[in-house]
Amino acid sequence: MYSFLIILFGSIFIRKRFDFAVKHPQLDGFLKFSWVLALLALLSKSSIQNYTGWSINPVWYLLLAFVFYCYWEVSEKQKDDTIIWSALAFMIVSVISEASEVYAPAFYEEYANYMNFASTGSFISVIAFGIGVSKQQKALKEEQEKNELTTRRKDELEVLVQQRTSEILEQKEELQHTLNELKATQAQLIQSEKLASLGELTAGIAHEIQNPLNFVNNFSELTKELAHELEEESAKKENRDIDLEKELIHDIMENLSKINHHGNRASSIVKNMLEHSRTSTGTVEKVHINKLCDEYLRLSYHGLRAKDKSFNSDFKMVLDPNVGTIEVVPQDFGRVLLNILNNAFYAVKAKLESKKEGFKPMVTISTELLKEENQIKISIKDNGNGVTEENKTKIFQPFFTTKPAGEGTGLGLSLSHDIIAAHGGEIRVVSKINEGSEFIIILPNKLEVLIHN
Amino acid sequence: MKILVVDDELDVKDLFLQKFRKEIKNGEIIFAFAHSGEDALIYLQEHESEAVLILSDINMPGMTGIELLRQIRTNYKKPPPTVMMITAYGDDENKQQAKEYGADDFLTKPVNFADLKTKLFAGH
Chain B residues close to A360, C-beta within 8 Å: 62
User: pLDDT tens across B21-42, in order?
Assistant: 989 999 999 999 999 999 999 9
Residue B3's DSSP bridge partners are B31, B53
Question: Are the CB atoms for A429 and A416 separated by under 8 Å?
Answer: no
Nearest-Cα residue of chain A relative to residue B25: A244
**Taking the domains of chain B in order of start, what are their residue ranges?**
2-123
Query: A91-116: string of b/e by CB count within 10 Å (b at 16+)?
Result: bebbebbbebbeeeeeebeebeeebe
Residue A38 is which amino acid?
Answer: A
Nearest to A222 among B15, B62, B94 (CB): B15
Query: What CA–CA distance (Å, rounded) separates A242 from A234?
Result: 9
Q: DSSP states of A193-206 as a string?
A: HHHHHHHHHHHHHH
Nearest to B9 among A211, A226, A360 (CB): A211
Give the pLDDT score at A217.
92
Q: DSSP states of A194-241 as a string?
A: HHHHHHHHHHHHHHHHHHHHHHHHHHHHHHHHHHHHHHHHHH-SS---
Question: Are the CB atoms for A208 and A302 separated by under 8 Å?
Answer: yes
Chain A residues close to B63, C-beta within 8 Å: 312, 314
Question: Are the CB atoms for A90 and A120 separated by under 8 Å?
Answer: no
Return phi, psi of residue A444, to 5°: -65, 140
Residues B89-102, mean pLDDT to the nearest whole number = 85
Query: A381-398: string of b/e by CB count within 10 Å (b at 16+)?
Result: bbbbbbbeeeeeebbbeb
Chain B residues close to A305, C-beta within 8 Å: 59
Between B10 and A452, where is the model more confident? B10
- Sequence-distant (6+) residues with CB within 8 A of A278 are A331
**pTM summary value:** 0.55
Question: Are the CB atoms for B59 and B88 separated by under 8 Å?
Answer: yes
Chain B residues close to A213, C-beta within 8 Å: 110
Taking one residue from A and the other from B, the number of pairs with CB-CB distance under 8 angstroms is: 51
> Which of B9, B11, B68, B78 minimizes the C-alpha distance to B43?
B68
Q: Is the peptide bond before B80 cis (omega within 30 degrees of 0)?
A: no
Instruction: Count the neighbouring beta carbons within 10 Å of the beta carbon of residue B54.
Output: 26
Return phi, psi of residue A317, to 5°: -120, 125
Query: What CA–CA distance (Å, rounded) separates A269 from A265?
Result: 6
Query: What CA–CA distance (Å, rounded) separates A345 from A200?
Result: 12
Strands (DSSP E) contained in A242-361 are: 285-288, 314-318, 325-328
Q: Are strands B83-87 and B53-57 parallel, antiparallel or unpaired?
A: parallel
Q: Are B67 and A312 within 8 A, CB to CB?
A: yes
Q: Are A217 and B14 within 8 A, CB to CB?
A: no
Query: What CA–CA distance (Å, rounded) separates A378 from A381?
Result: 10
Rg (C-alpha) for chain B, rounded Å, is: 13
User: pLDDT tens across A22-57, in order?
Assistant: 777 777 777 777 778 777 777 776 665 666 555 556
Distances (CA, A) of A191 to A66, A294, A411: 94, 25, 11
Question: Are the CB atoms for A384 and A351 separated by under 8 Å?
Answer: yes
- Average pLDDT, rounded, for chain B: 89
- Sequence-distant (6+) residues with CB within 8 A of A329 are A280, A281, A282, A283, A284, A285, A419, A422, A423, A450, A452
Write down the H helix ranges in A371-425: 389-394, 412-422
To the nearest whole angstrom, how far is the Cα of B19 from the nearest Cα of chain A?
A: 7
To the nearest whole angstrom, how far is the Cα of A431 from the nearest Cα of chain B?
A: 23
Instruction: Count the neighbouring beta carbons within 10 Å of the beta carbon of residue A258.
Output: 22
Q: Is A225 exposed, middle or buried (0-12, 13-18, 19+ CB in 10 A)?
A: middle
Domains within chain A, CATH numbers bracketed:
3-156 (no CATH), 284-453 (3.30.565.10)
Distances (CA, A) of A44 to A37, A40, A55, A91, A401: 10, 6, 12, 22, 108
Query: What CA–CA distance (Å, rounded) separates A82 from A353?
Result: 111
Nearest to B59 among A207, A217, A226 (CB): A207
Q: Are A251 and B64 within 8 A, CB to CB?
A: no
Rg (C-alpha) for chain A, rounded Å, is: 56
A53: helix, coil or strand?
Answer: coil
From first to last of its 453 residues, chain A has per-residue pLDDT tens of: 556 666 777 777 677 766 777 777 777 777 777 778 777 777 776 665 666 555 556 666 777 777 777 777 766 655 556 666 777 777 777 777 777 777 777 887 888 788 788 878 888 887 887 788 778 878 888 999 999 999 999 999 999 999 999 999 999 999 999 999 998 888 787 777 777 666 666 767 777 788 889 999 999 999 999 999 999 999 988 888 899 899 999 999 999 999 999 998 888 778 777 766 666 667 888 888 998 899 889 888 888 887 777 788 889 999 999 888 888 888 788 889 988 999 999 999 989 888 777 888 999 999 999 988 889 999 999 999 999 888 888 888 877 888 776 677 777 888 899 889 988 899 999 999 989 999 999 998 875 544 444
Q: Are B61 and A251 within 8 A, CB to CB?
A: no
Chain B residues close to A302, C-beta within 8 Å: 59
To the nearest whole angstrom, how far is the Cα of A172 from the nearest Cα of chain B?
A: 56
Return phi, psi of residue A367, to 5°: -120, 155
Instruction: Count the neighbouring beta carbons within 10 Å of the beta carbon of residue A215.
Output: 25
Question: Are the CB atoms for B60 and B8 separated by under 8 Å?
Answer: yes
Nearest to B18 among A226, A309, A313 (CB): A226
Q: In the 8-state DSSP scheme, what is residue B81?
A: P
Which helix (H) or strand (E) segment holds residue A186: the answer is helix A105-235
Write down the H helix ranges in A79-104: 81-103
Chain A residues close to B18, C-beta within 8 Å: 222, 226, 251, 255
Domain B2-123: which topology?
Rossmann fold (3.40.50)
ipTM summary value: 0.87
Residue A286's DSSP bridge partners are A327
User: pLDDT tens across B37-95, in order?
Assistant: 999 999 999 988 787 899 999 988 888 899 999 999 998 887 889 999 998 777 788 88
Instruction: Count the neighbouring beta carbons within 10 Å of the beta carbon of residue A175.
Output: 10
Give the pLDDT score at B43.
93
